[in-house]
């Protein structure tokens, strides 16, 4: 798992290391989850850039229901 995912893990209070032997399963799931989110964000950015809407951060937050 990369450093940025570890940072997110700590910030979210998700304790992957506390899972012991099954930690690698959770790490793989967390990595895949993050990969899917990043791909979705990239797709949103790509679509809205082509549409001429440059407020990409706002579009991504709205898409995921994240309040500012």
To the nearest whole percent, how much of the chain has pLDDT over 90? Answer: 0
pLDDT tens digits for 32-43? 888 888 888 888
Structure tokens at 64: 């995921």
pLDDT for 51 equals: 74
Output the DSSP codes for the chain.
Answer: --HHHHHHHHHTT--SGGGGGGHHHHHHHHHHHHHHHHHHHHHHHHHHHHTT---HHHHHHHHHT---
Which residue has tokens 């709205």?
62
- Given a cut of 70, whether residue 68 has pLDDT beyond it is no
Kindly report the pTM of this predicted structure: 0.65
pLDDT at 47: 84
Residue extents of the structural domains in the chain:
3-64
Supply the pLDDT for residue 46: 85
φ, ψ at 67 (rounded to 5°): -85, 150
């Amino acid at each position: 798992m990369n450093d940025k995912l570890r940072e997110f893990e700590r910030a979210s209070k998700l304790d992957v290391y506390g899972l012991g032997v099954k930690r690698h399963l959770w790490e793989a799931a967390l990595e895949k989850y993050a990969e899917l989110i990043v791909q979705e964000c990239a797709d949103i950015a790509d679509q809205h850039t082509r549409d001429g809407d440059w407020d990409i951060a706002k579009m991504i937050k709205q898409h995921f229901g994240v309040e500012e």
